[in-house]
Copies of this chain bind each other. A is one copy, B any other.
């Protein structure tokens, strides 16, 4: 089991390990709620009211018209209108570190009373002391121990309850918002717009599938069966005369980079005609979508708005946007400037309780 876990270490994407380093610096920040975002301008006829008039909006609406207008040479029948969205950094924020990592650290704290040995055992001791540098020193091995302790060894229903409890109460260390209030208003409008035009919207994310499903339907309107993500193996057991599924520490799918086309084919089985991402981890997904026959559309969200969100791209250690940017420029894919093209970043927030 230990050997197995060590062997899987190489499969865990760098973002988690590197994330810890960033977390060490960033998580301790003062909790300063930012001002609530402006309510979006309501325009009856505008399907994307939070998008400024500009090339990205024109390209999006033009593509939708092209594939949904009957008689158009590029018409695509509704069942084939598959749209895939990355989650972290594409539908919601991902700084200072992917929110699932913050969930994992909170889970360590919440379970500490049941694990008195954790006060003397790394990486848990560092997490419990708030010593993020110590956590970072434990490296990938430490991260695996945290993932195993917080994402495995329980039933899928128990895990779902943990996620639901956390996502409805925990708040972001910098904005003071619920994490589900750090979704992007322009992308919510885009999801709804595409669905209104007969598209089926899917999440295809490096994040954990069981972490996203409990709230994706409420927040994005995307039902569990249309959420694809990284996943651990599951095992059927009987408890108290009822079948349960136990989450194991072994990896089933790493839904990132070259794993995204694999996740799309194994779960959807049909090539998307439109794909949305924000980092190099999404590049293979956009390539896969656009390599199909007929009209195709690919879009990257560019995080260039340090004032209203976060600014990072080519030099970022965690969510680099560099090769993908070059490819977008070369192939004419759409790159959205959050700063220039989005009127609003987040929806209106609920006041902190």
Contact = CB atoms under 8 A, between A and B. Distances in A.
Interface of A: 79, 82, 156, 200, 209-210, 213, 217, 223-227, 231, 234-236, 242-243, 245, 252, 258, 261-262, 265-270, 284, 287-288, 291
B258 A236 contact: yes
B213 A225 contact: no
A242 B291 contact: yes
Contacts of A262: 234-236, 245
A217 B79 contact: yes
A163 to B, nearest CB: 12
A266 B217 CA distance: 16
Given A79-B217, A213-B269, A268-B224, A261 B288 contact: no
B234 A266 contact: yes
Given A243-B261, A243-B291, A284-B236, A225 B270 contact: yes
A156 B262 CA distance: 11
A252 B227 CA distance: 19
A225 B252 contact: no
Nearest to A200: B225
30 contacts: A79-B223, A82-B225, A156-B265, A200-B225, A209-B266, A209-B269, A210-B269, A213-B269, A223-B270, A224-B269, A224-B270, A225-B226, A225-B268, A225-B269, A225-B270, A227-B269, A231-B266, A234-B266, A236-B258, A236-B261, A236-B262, A242-B291, A243-B261, A243-B284, A243-B287, A243-B288, A243-B291, A245-B262, A245-B265, A267-B267
